[in-house]
Amino acid sequence: MKIQVLGPGCGSCKQLHEQVLKAVKELNMDTEVEYVTDIQKIAEAGIMSSPALIIEGKVASAGTVPTVEKIKEMISGENSDNTESKSSGCCSCGGKC
């Protein structure tokens, strides 16, 4: 399974990365979590709000930091129709400014 966290390296981005690592560990998965901070790659992925969580090439969340439990649901495919996002306004802070 391919899991990516995309964001410029802000506090929320780092928090999401840690939450995803914890979720993967709690699910006893042997999966690498890629942390992408390259702005060019983030733009190429079409991410307009960070941080973003990409699971198997699909945006699972953007502009928010889901709970570990919610991330575990996303990874295991529960509620896969729901993409969690929040309006980010004019910057990439995820609506926190």
Domain ranges of the chain: 3-85
What pLDDT score does 78 carry? 66
How far apart (Å, rounded) are the C-alpha atoms in residues 56 and 1? 6
Name the residue among 81, 90, 62 with its Cα closest to residue 5: 62
Lowest model confidence (mean pLDDT) among 38-42, 66-70, 84-88: 84-88
pTM of the predicted model as reported, rounded to 2 decimal places = 0.78
Q: Which of 6-10, 11-15, 16-20, 79-83 has the lowest mean pLDDT?
A: 79-83
Asked whether residue 68 carries a pLDDT value surpassing 70, the answer given is yes
- Catalytic site residues? 10, 13
Question: pLDDT tens across 13-52, in order?
Answer: 999 999 999 999 999 999 999 999 999 999 999 999 999 9
Top CATH class, 3-85:
alpha beta
Q: How far apart are CA 14 and CA 94, in angstroms?
A: 13
Please report which residue ranges of 1-97 form alpha helices under DSSP H.
Answer: 11-26, 39-44, 68-76
Q: Listing from the earlier edge strand, what are the strands of the sheet with 84-85?
A: 33-36, 3-6, 52-55, 58-62, 84-85
pLDDT of residue 77: 85
